[in-house]
Amino acid sequence: MNILWEKSRALQKRASKVMPLGVNSNFRYWGEGITPYMQKAKGAYLWDVDGNKYIDYRMAFGPIILGHAYDEVNAKVAGEIELGTLAAMTYELEIEVVEMMVKMCPGLEMVRFACSGTEATMHALRVARAYTGRERVIKFEGMYHGFHDYTLWSTYAPVEAYGNPHDPIPVPSSSGIPRPLNQMIVPLPFNAPEILENMLRAVGESVAAIIVEPCMGNCGAILPEKNFLQFVRKQCDKYGIVMILDEVKTGFRIANGGAQEYYGIKPDLATYAKALANGYPLAALGGKKSIMSIIGQGVSQGGTFTNNKPGVAAAWATLTILQREPVLKTIAKRGQRLKDGISQIFSEAGIPHCMNGYPAMFSYAIGVEKITDQRSWSESEKEYYLALVEALIDAGVMPDHDPREPWFLCYSHSEKDIDDTLTAFRAAVKTVKR
Ligand code: PMP
């Protein structure tokens, strides 16, 4: 990066003395001397501690769907916290939020709150295991469902470690994950129906859940091939497996009813976090009454902060606004223009590429014509991707530094922001050597 980052570098030095990597999540660390530290965020913009302003396309890893520090959401939170920030009892506001979720998302009949996406998927897996009396879980390579030990397998490893796609090797994504858990996880390549079918023929009767992101939201936004999610649904029905749709990134972002509405699919359970509360901490798991109602019947779920008032109030305001205004339609229109514009810039420069994801959450892979899973994505030109990102950041446009992480848009991105981003993108492609 060439712009002024003196204060960021000083803060990184200071933070590194007391925080591992100088940050509070591994994902916030970009490297020595190139990790930005924040001053403020408002609408579609960020300001770093050196006073540089950016059009933000990270949106806090996806939660910001309306805009940073969105006035109406903040006002609702400010009003509600006057009545208490946390209680060992249930507020009516929680019921109202759940009623809105059930109305908006086709697959939800009952919902419980959690504090993070990690917690939501962890609880959903327990519910699925309790419901089926089985322990194995199928996940897809490159998909991320949070930091708990059950699914943090075959997420970030070099794909060479994954073995043959017909018999993949589960690779833990961290030291400290108990090795015996590999008996309970079956990672498979995404978008490969025959491989899934064969695996289920072998172990289907012992599988509690198939957990799947609607698209590869943590690996280049690779979309499901036509009918792949429907195929997963059918296989779950055939083998009595609980289908968990992890909508932590897609929920309240790609449609008001998330991927369930978008693809017309009803999972057994679904998980939410991110856009549900526009940047305040709230997550949820929900689904069929027949499954969710086992919670409390010998099945544990809960947490001190699961009904935290700032999160619940922010969700109340966010869902109210999503239902009142054409938020996601507006984002989709602007996102499509940005996506198309980026594709056109690559094409004009003669750079092979493929565009992936939804207008509200998209990515591109460079140097490849088509990608369907993490194995094919890994053949794309990640160094060039990164070099372009760094040029964009110098020009005041901030996508994530990690090529796996999609670009996220919010309601506050204006047509002019899209124009300015495309201008910066065109200049970056012109100046950065491939
Ligand atoms: N599931 C998916 C699909 C995610 O993208 C993430 C976070 N990126 C999580 C779960 C975990 O959510 P959290 O970071 O809130 O724990």
Q: Rounded distance, CA 336 to CA 413, Å?
A: 13
In this prediction, residue 293 carries a pLDDT of: 98
Q: Rounded distance, CA 91 to CA 154, Å?
A: 40
Check which CATH number belongs to the domain holding 298 and give it: 3.40.640.10
**Ligand 1 midpoint to CA 248 (Å):** 6
**Whether residue 299 sits in one domain with residue 253:** yes
- Domain boundary among the residues 324, 352, 381 is at 324
Q: Rounded distance, CA 62 to CA 250, Å?
A: 9
Q: Does residue 351 fall inside a structural domain?
A: no
Among positive and negative, which fits the CA dihedral 200, 260, 227, 186? Answer: negative
Q: Does residue 222 fall inside a structural domain?
A: yes
**Whether residue 28 sits in one domain with residue 170:** no
Which residues, in sequence order, are CB contacts of 239 under 8 Å at separation 6+? 200, 204, 205, 207
List pocket residues of ligand 1, CB cut-off 6 Å.
Answer: 61, 116-118, 121, 144-146, 213, 217-218, 246, 248-249, 273
**Whether residue 114 sits in one domain with residue 2:** no
**Ligand 1 midpoint to CA 201 (Å):** 30
**Whether residue 141 sits in one domain with residue 231:** yes
Q: Does residue 336 fall inside a structural domain?
A: no
Positions of the chain with pLDDT lower than 50, given as ranges: none
> For residue range 241-273, what is the model confidence (pLDDT) as tens digits?
999 999 999 999 999 999 999 999 999 999 999
> What is the CB neighbour count within 10 angstroms for residue 180?
7
**Whether residue 168 sits in one domain with residue 31:** no
Q: Rounded distance, CA 146 to CA 160, Å?
A: 23
Helix (H, G, I), strand (E, B) or coil at 372: coil
> For residue range 385-413, what is the model confidence (pLDDT) as tens digits?
999 999 999 999 999 999 999 999 999 99
Cβ proximity of 290 and 329 under 8 Å:
no
**Ligand 1 midpoint to CA 62 (Å):** 9
**Whether residue 131 sits in one domain with residue 7:** no
Q: Rounded distance, CA 72 to CA 85, Å?
A: 18
Q: Does residue 289 fall inside a structural domain?
A: yes
> Whose C-alpha lies nearest to ligand 1, atom 5?
249
With vertex at residue 213, the alpha carbon angle to CA 96 and CA 165, rounded to the nearest 5 degrees, is 165
- Domain boundary among the residues 278, 303, 324 is at 324
Q: Does residue 294 fall inside a structural domain?
A: yes
> Whose C-alpha lies nearest to ligand 1, atom 10?
145
Q: Does residue 88 fall inside a structural domain?
A: yes
Q: Does residue 278 fall inside a structural domain?
A: yes
211 to 137, 318, 330, 359: CA distances (angstroms):
7, 26, 30, 24
**Whether residue 189 sits in one domain with residue 97:** yes
**Whether residue 81 sits in one domain with residue 28:** no
**Whether residue 142 sits in one domain with residue 262:** yes
DSSP string, 197-216: HHHHHHHGGGEEEEEE-SSB
- Domain boundary among the residues 270, 301, 324 is at 324
Say which residue the tokens 């979720």 belong to.
Answer: 101
Q: Rounded distance, CA 222 to CA 226, Å?
A: 12
Quote the domain boundaries for residue 220.
71-324
**Ligand 1 midpoint to CA 119 (Å):** 9
- Provide the domain count of the chain: 2
Q: Rounded distance, CA 285 to CA 128, Å?
A: 11
Q: Rounded distance, CA 339 to CA 360, Å?
A: 10
pTM: 0.98
Q: Please list the residues that pair with 284 across neighbouring strands.
A: 113, 272
Q: Does residue 23 fall inside a structural domain?
A: yes
**Ligand 1 midpoint to CA 140 (Å):** 15
Please give the torsion angle defined by the CA atoms of residues 387, 391, 393 and 395, in that order, rounded to the nearest 10 degrees: -170
**207-212 vs 136-140, strand pairing mode:** parallel
**Whether residue 163 sits in one domain with residue 230:** yes
